[in-house]
Chains A and B, each alone.
Chain A
Amino acid sequence: MPANPADTTPLVVVALYLGSLIGLGLFTRTLFRGTSKDYFVAGRSIGPVLLLMSVFGTTMTAFALVGSTGKAYELGAGVYGLMASSSAIIHSLVFFIIGIKLWAIGKRHDFMTQIQFFRARFQSVALGYLLFPILVLLVIPYLLIGILGAGAVVRGITVGMFPDTFAGITTPTGATLFAGAVPPWVTGLVICSVVLFYIFTGGLRAAAWANAFQTVVFMVTGLIAFTLIADKLGGAAAATQLVLDNAHDHVVRAKIGKLQFLTYAFVPLSVGMFPHLFQHWLTAKDAKTFRLTAVAHPLFIMIVWVPCILIGIWAVGIGLKAPGGNSNAVLAAMVGTLLDNPYLTGLLTAGILAAIMSSLDSQFVCLGTMFTQDIVLQVAGEDRFTDRQKILLGRGFIVAIVALTYVLSLFPPPKIFDLAVWCFSGFASLFPLVFAAVYWRRVTKAGAFASVLVMVVSWSYYFYIGLIEPTLSGEKIVGDFLVMGMMPVTVIFAASAAALVGVSLVTTPPPAEHVERFMIPKTDRG
């Protein structure tokens, strides 16, 4: 006789959250002004609060909640210094020294994409064609991780809910896993459809509003989970005492290498080259809009990460086993084991989905914008299309990219979740290019090409020996791949920067009058 279906309350809470996003999509539809500039860069009209929330929501992926907890479970409390406090310093630095400048250059020259900027700055259409596939290939794994992560989370909380509809997975030993759970292909379809719904008509403005809402959801969710878990463990002090007693190495940084710690600081430089973040910067109403983002971003990182790190080490302290050996499932396991509250489980799932979707939407819009602006309009000529046709093209490409990503998510490559730090390292290693483009008059087109090509070659080499080779040989990958104790981004970044500087110095400098058009004059400060 079949068992009774499990309580569907968590799924109802998630459905309510997704329904509220659709409602928000209907609201942002009314704000759309009908121009391509409004669709692709929100008419450059976004204010400080919305910019802060949308930039933070875009930058923080699901990793901010489940990944941070999982990493703390593996490596201990030092994960905050490794990943979060370095980002607190460097993200704001990049917003200040790169973001504001690119906003100004973008507004002055009417750019909508990162590639338009590089193409114009280096007077090279070919550089745009070289960068396009690199940026797209670095973003796509990021999208897949989001969709697959959402699928895994929802499957985890819905086990036994629909025994007559979803049979689950039968293992080679004949056991059935996830019986009655919503399969990832259904969750992926729903997530992609909801994101598509609110960005289809409203473009980046809709994404910004949705990100703001989603950021609130995942910040509040993390704090609620932290408070209730601490209470259940007899208070925060008692919970940490258990870690001291049972897992002392998780209180200190015994599991983190010192060079690894120092060189991890290169990774957050990736925000300087995220194409989706570039597009968000262009939405700012004025330069002053960036002020709140630069100041509050480190605080927001602290608010999200500190509770998750504590939950991660507390899990070790109480002897919790990561479900299936997957440390990314520790947060959900802590909530499920300690709280056993279907509403909270639903809320936590909604929070995780919020973190995922707040990155997905901007990336979808960004890729659609790049295909429209950097490929179609570049090849066919901008004057060939009316403004309305450009919006239609953008929408068409967004639908195509959402569909393509969804199909790819049905056939996930192995080790997909290990790709995240590699994607970030690729973007971070392109940072010398954007920095030089904004600050160095002497940088040349040949230097830019050399920098990008050296990044591709060195990144591919380390990617092969660090991920592909061990995967092909069936080797289990434990921890980050390191080069002489350092994160590989250190070497790739240095090689890319050296190529940029070296080749620029031995090639003919660009015309001074051209470069001046991109150099913001020094002004009175303060």
Chain B
Amino acid sequence: MTSAGKFAWGLVVLAAILHTDLWAWDDDSLVFGFMPMALAYHAGVSLLAAGAWLAVVKFDWPEGIEQWASEGDGAGDGDGKGTR
């Protein structure tokens, strides 16, 4: 995996860790004057998750998977039928 790929997966792990925000359980402050911290913080986690997945699909995309899938030519290689 490239360094950029590791960075991308690091962002996913960071989003998962930040999701467990037990430290802010009783925070009653408001963000932008109307969003409770419990909501705004996790909306931020959602944004981070989207960014992390953008990085993963950009830097750690399995390029050869389509070729592998197409080698069966979409007509099957008998696996499905062989078990019928």
Contacts and interface: CB of A to CB of B under 8 A. Distances in A.
Interface of A: 44, 76-78, 80-81, 84-86, 88-89, 92-93, 96, 100-101, 103-105, 107-112, 116, 119-120, 123-125, 128, 235-237, 239-240, 243-244, 248, 251-254, 258, 261-262, 265, 286-288, 290-291, 294-299, 301-302, 306, 309-310, 313, 377-378, 381-382, 517, 520-521, 523-526
A85 B2 CA distance: 28
A88 B74 contact: no
Contact of A96 (B2, B33, B56, B59): B56
9 contacts: A80-B43, A81-B38, A84-B46, A89-B15, A89-B49, A123-B83, A290-B57, A310-B35, A377-B84
Q: Interface majority SS on A: helix, strand, loop or mixed?
A: helix
Contact of B66 (A77, A96, A254, A287): A287
Contacts of A252: 25-28, 36, 38
A120 B2 contact: no
A130 to B, nearest CB: 14
Contact of B16 (A89, A237, A302): A89
Interface string B1-20: 11011000000100110011
A286 B84 CA distance: 27
Given A85-B42, A237-B34, A526-B63, 4 more contacts: A120-B80, A299-B47, A302-B46, A520-B62
Contacts of B66: 104, 286-288
A44 B74 contact: yes
B11 to A, nearest CB: 11
The 4 A-B pairs at the shortest CB distance, nearest first, are namely A110-B76, A523-B64, A108-B72, A236-B34
Given A252-B26, A286-B66, A120 B82 contact: yes
A240 B35 contact: yes
Given A309-B39, A525-B62, A253 B34 contact: no
A522 B75 CA distance: 23
Contacts of B47: 298-299, 302
A525 B2 contact: yes
A108 B69 contact: yes
Contact of B49 (A76, A88, A251, A288): A88
Interface of B: 1-2, 4-5, 12, 15-16, 19-22, 25-28, 30, 33-36, 38-39, 41-43, 45-47, 49-50, 53-54, 56-66, 68-72, 74-77, 79-84
Contacts of A248: 28
A209 to B, nearest CB: 22
Given A520-B62, A523-B64, A81 B50 contact: no
Contact of B72 (A109, A262, A295): A109
A120 B46 contact: no
A85 B46 contact: yes
A33 to B, nearest CB: 14
Given A88-B46, A239-B34, A295 B57 contact: yes
B9 to A, nearest CB: 10
Nearest to A83: B42
A79 B1 CA distance: 36
A244 B65 contact: no
B35 to A, nearest CB: 7
A313 B26 CA distance: 16
Contacts of B16: 89
B39 A111 contact: no
A76 B80 CA distance: 48
Contact of A295 (B4, B20, B30, B53): B53
B39 to A, nearest CB: 4
Given A88-B50, A252-B27, A526 B70 contact: no
Contacts of A288: 61, 66
Contact of B84 (A298, A381, A523): A381
Contact of B45 (A89, A109, A286, A377): A89
Name, among B41, B46, B69, the residue most crowded by chain A CB atoms within 10 Å (CB to CB).
B46
A118 to B, nearest CB: 10
Contacts of B63: 523-526
A408 B83 CA distance: 33
Given A248-B28, A253-B38, A287-B62, A110 B46 contact: no
B65 A287 contact: yes
B46 A310 contact: no
B68 to A, nearest CB: 6
Name, among A93, A104, A286, A520, the residue most crowded by chain B CB atoms within 10 Å (CB to CB).
A104
